[in-house]
Amino acid sequence: MPELPEVETIRRGLDQFILRKHVQTVQVFCDKSFIGPKEVIFGQEIIAIRRFGKALIFDFSNGVSMMVHLRMTGQLIFRAFGEESGKDYREMIEAGDFKTSLYDEKSFAGGHPTDSFFSELPNKQTRVLFTLENGTLYFNDQRKFGFCKVLETSEVMQDSFIKKLAKEPWQMSVAEFSKNLARHKNAEIKPTILDQTVIAGLGNIYADEALFLAKIHPERLTGSLSETEISDLLEAAKSVMQASIDSGGSTMATYVKADGTRGDYLQKFAQVFRREGEPCNRCGTEIIKIKVAGRGTHLCPHCQKKIL
DNA sequence: CGACTCACCTGCGTGC
DNA sequence: TGCACGCAGGTGAGTC
Ligand SMILES: [Zn+2]
């Protein structure tokens, strides 16, 4: 689930709660969710929380780091001691009092939005539990595609995933984006921009949103884009992801209500994603949903023409 | 190397 | 109700 804006929101949230805290113990409930020796981080202080694309890196005081990738259904939830039931947050949400901040003083949640955000933890989807000096960090992951991986801090940049990542759109020039796109001139543009070695950070939501904003049909061949369209697409990628980061990504407060229904975040932000059947905000044409490279894809057939 | 397909897992909504 | 099926905010492996 989580794309760059959600992961960045988690990074910022966890900075508030667990930076400079010590890890006391780690409990692993699913072996495939935790790679490497957990004991090496026992007693260690978290000295930095970094993000590369959709991956988070926790650096510890002994030269060890832990990479966390949430993939499709990962969540990171922090609860101060005494807040394991999630009750306070649930009450706050039910009272409609969740617009003041992304988190209160006692808990924070981010990642794949489910009612685990408000439920008693640990639960069936809890794969790893970190006991810190001030509370508990839960790594939940319904589909088990995500992972936590221990490695040396000095080896982070050599990690097979990290080292292949392209720049994020804010650091990338049009020339470099253009060059990376050129490697895939015979592929459709949507799967091309989902490739993290072409540009880092976009996932299924923000790819659809960026293509809509740049008025490019997702099935256009990459090689058919003009220089102007390439430039517009890069700007659109920055714009849609920055807007999401600025509004706090998809944290529980804005994303899922206590009853499990979707909150107002996507409805407010999304122009096309999960809006099939609704009118385009730009031209009024009905948004459609198709399948592109195996992924559900949303677009306005009037604003995004396949053939120019 | 690039373009595709499929695998990895669990759970939910849909339709018979 | 039971069950088959499609689908899901990601990435890696395998094939041609
Ligand atoms: Zn339109």
DSSP A163-200: GG----GGG--HHHHHHHHHTTTTSBHHHHHH-TTTSS
Domains of chain A: total: 2
pLDDT of residue A114: 85
A5 is catalytic: no
CB atoms near residue A130 (< 10 Å)? 24
Boundary-marking domain end, from A96, A129, A163: A163
CB atoms near residue A100 (< 10 Å)? 8
- Kindly report the CATH number assigned to the domain that includes residue A82: 3.20.190.10
**Cα(A104) to centroid of ligand 1, in Å?**
39
**Cα(A243) to centroid of ligand 1, in Å?**
20
Domain membership of residue A258 (yes or no) is no
Nucleotide nearest to A197 (CA to C1'): C11
- 3-state secondary structure (DSSP) of residue A205: helix
Domain membership of residue A253 (yes or no) is no
- In A31-121, DSSP assigns E strands to 34-35, 46-52, 55-60, 64-69, 74-80, 107-111
Cβ < 7 Å from nucleic strand B: A 32, 124-125, 142-145, 183-188, 191-192, 222, 293-294
**Cα(A285) to centroid of ligand 1, in Å?**
5
pLDDT digits (tens, 9 = 90+) for A69-103: 999 999 999 999 988 887 766 666 555 444 333 45
Q: Do residue A42 and residue A24 come from a single domain?
A: yes
Q: Do residue A152 and residue A177 come from a single domain?
A: no
pLDDT digits (tens, 9 = 90+) for A193-252: 999 999 999 999 999 999 999 999 999 999 999 999 999 999 999 999 999 888 766 554
* Strand C contact with A143 (CB < 7 A): yes
- In chain A, DSSP assigns E strands to 23-28, 34-35, 46-52, 55-60, 64-69, 74-80, 107-111, 126-132, 135-141, 147-152, 288-292, 295-299
Query: Can you give the distance from the CA of residue A291 to the C1' of nucleotide B15 in angstroms?
Result: 21
Q: Do residue A148 and residue A46 come from a single domain?
A: yes
Domain membership of residue A260 (yes or no) is no
* Strand C contact with A1 (CB < 7 A): yes
- Kindly report the CATH number assigned to the domain that includes residue A280: 1.10.8.50
- Dihedral (Cα; A15, A260, A70, A67), 10-degree rounding: 30
Query: Can you give the distance from the CA of residue A197 to the C1' of nucleotide B15 in angstroms?
Result: 40
pLDDT digits (tens, 9 = 90+) for A97-139: 443 334 556 888 888 888 888 889 999 999 999 999 999 999 9
Domain membership of residue A68 (yes or no) is yes
* Model-level ipTM above the cut of 0.90: yes
Average pLDDT, chain A: 90
Q: Do residue A273 and residue A207 come from a single domain?
A: yes
Nucleotide nearest to A293 (CA to C1'): B4
Q: Do residue A159 and residue A178 come from a single domain?
A: no
Q: Do residue A37 and residue A147 come from a single domain?
A: yes
Task: Residue A67: name the closest of A102, A104, A35 by CA.
Answer: A35
- Expressed as residue numbers, the domain containing A225 is 169-247+265-299
Domain membership of residue A255 (yes or no) is no
Q: Which residues contact A207 (CB under 8 A, 6 or more apart)?
A: A190, A193, A194, A218
Minimum-distance residue to B7 (CA–C1'): A145
Q: Do residue A49 and residue A198 come from a single domain?
A: no
A2 is catalytic: yes
Name the pLDDT band for A260 (thresholds 50, 70, 90): very low
Q: Do residue A125 and residue A185 come from a single domain?
A: no
Q: Do residue A121 and residue A144 come from a single domain?
A: yes
Boundary-marking domain end, from A163, A182, A204: A163
Q: Near ion ligand 1, which residues have CB within 5 Å? A: A 280, 282-283, 285, 300, 302-303
- The answer on pLDDT for A258 being more than 60 is no
Domain membership of residue A42 (yes or no) is yes
Domain membership of residue A252 (yes or no) is no
Q: A233: exposed, middle or buried (C-beta count within 10 Å: 0-12, 13-18, 19+)?
A: buried
Q: Do residue A179 and residue A118 come from a single domain?
A: no
Q: Do residue A234 and residue A119 come from a single domain?
A: no
Minimum-distance residue to C7 (CA–C1'): A296
Q: Do residue A189 and residue A153 come from a single domain?
A: no
Domain membership of residue A259 (yes or no) is no
